[in-house]
Structure 1
Amino acid sequence: MEQFLFFFVAFLAIVSAAYFVFSRNPMYALLSLIVTMFSIAGMYILLNAQFLGIVQIIVYAGAIMVLFLYILMMLNLNKADESKKQNTLKFIGVFSAGILLIGMLGAFRGVKQNILAEDGIDFSVGLTKNLGRLLFNEYVVPFELASILILAGIVGAVLIGKKDL
C-alpha cells in the first residue's frame, strides 16, 4: 500500500510539473507548481524524511510560491506580452530538455533492479527527533552561530531599509 501511495504521489508530481511547463496561463502554472511542491513533500514523508518534508512545505510551498503568486498578480501580464517571445528561446528550451533526457537515460542505464534489501535498514534515520538530538548535542555551537548570523542579517536588513526620521 505504501509503495502504491508513493507512486501515486510521484505521478501527481510529474503531471503537475508537466502542466506547469506547458500551461499558457501563468496563474494556473504557479498553482500547479504549488501542487508539485506538496507532492515532493509527500514523497519525502513517505521516504521517512519527515524533517525534509515539513521544510519543503514551509519554505517552498508556503513562502516562495506565495511570493511568486504575489509577484505575478502585481505584474498583471497580458496576452500581448506572450507573443513577443522569440523562437530561439523555445529552441533552446527544447534542446536543453533533450540533453536532460539523454543524461537521465544514461544514468538509468546503469541502475540495476532489486538493489534494495529489506533487512538491515534503519528506519529511524530521517526522523526529526534524531535530527534534533544530533543538532543540539554534537553540533550545538555551529547551530547557535548560524542563528546569530541570521539574526545579524535581519538586523542589518531592518537598518538598511529604515528611513531616516
Structure 2
Amino acid sequence: MTLNLFYFLSFLAIMSAIMVVLSKNPVYSVLYLIITFFCIAGHYMLMNAQFLAIVHIIVYAGAIMVLFLYVIMLLNLNKESEPHKSTLQKIAATICAGLVMIVLVGSLKGTEGMIQQQPAAADIGLVKALGQVMFTKFLLPFEITSVLLLAAMVGAVMLGKPEKR
C-alpha cells in the first residue's frame, strides 16, 4: 500500500512539475506548483516526518504561492510585452540543461552503496521529538540562529528605510 502511494505521489509530482514548465499561463503554472508541493509533503508523510510536511505546506504551498500569485497578478504578464527568445538562446539553454543533467547523473552514479538503512524509530519526525532535540542538544545553535535572523531583519529595515535630509 505504501509503495503504491509512493509511486502515485511520485508520478503526480513529476507530471505537475513538468506542467509548471510547459504551461503558457503563469497562474496555471503556480497552481501546478502547488500540486507539486502537496505531493512532496505527501512524501514527507511517508517518511514519517509529519512536522516537516506540515511546515512545507504552510510555508511553500501557503505563503510563497500566495506571494507568487500576487506578483503575477500585479505584473499583469501579457504575451505582447513578453520578450521573445531567439533560437540560439533556446539551443544554448537546452545544451546547458543537458550538461547539468549529465553532471548530476555522473555525480550520483556510485552512490547507491553509500545509503545505509537505519531502523525506523516511532518518534522520528514528530514535533515532540524535534523540540526535545532542538532545545537540549542544539540549544546554542538555535539561539544563535534566532539572533542572526533578528539582526538580518533589523538590517533589512534599516536598508529599506528612506534617508532623511
Q: Check whether TM > 0.5.
A: yes
Tell me which protein shows more helix as a share of its residues: 1
Residue 52 of structure 1 corresponds to: 52
Instruction: Say whether residues 1:71 and 2:71 are aligned partners.
Output: yes
TM-score by length of 1: 0.80
Which string of whole-angstrom CA distances, capped at 9 and with x for unpartnered residues, describes residues 82-103 of structure 1? 4622223322332233234434
Structure 2 CA distance, aligned partners of 1:120 and 1:98?
37
Evaluate the alpha carbon distance shift between residue 157 and residue 122 of structure 1 in structure 2; reply closer, same or farther with a 3 A threshold.
Answer: same
Provide the secondary structure at the position in 2 that maps to 1:137.
coil
- Between 1:88-97 and 1:25-34, the stretch displaced more is 88-97
In 1: Cα distance, 2:109 partner to 2:70 partner: 42
Aligned-pair CA distance for 1:121 = 3.6
User: What is the rounded CA distance, in whole Å, between the counterparts of 1:144 and 1:116 in structure 2?
Assistant: 32
Identity %: 49
CA RMSD of aligned residues (A): 2.8
* Separation (CA, whole Å) in 1 of partners of 2:129 and 2:60: 23
Partners of 1:136 and 1:149 lie apart in 2 by: 17
Q: Which aligned pairs between 1:142-153 and structure 2 lie closer than 5 A?
A: 142-153=141-152
State the secondary structure of the residue aligned to 1:81.
coil
Structure 2 unaligned runs (5+)? Answer: none
| 1:31-72 residue CA offsets vs partner (Å, 9 max, x unmatched) | 111111111111111111222222221222222222111111
**Equivalent residues in 2 for 1:16-165 (5 A)?**
16-82=16-82, 84-103=84-103, 105-106=105-106, 110=110, 120-161=119-160
Question: How far has the Cα of 1:110 moved from its partner?
Answer: 4.4
Looking at structure 2, the residues matched to 159 and 108 of structure 1 have their Cα atoms a distance apart, in angstroms, of 44
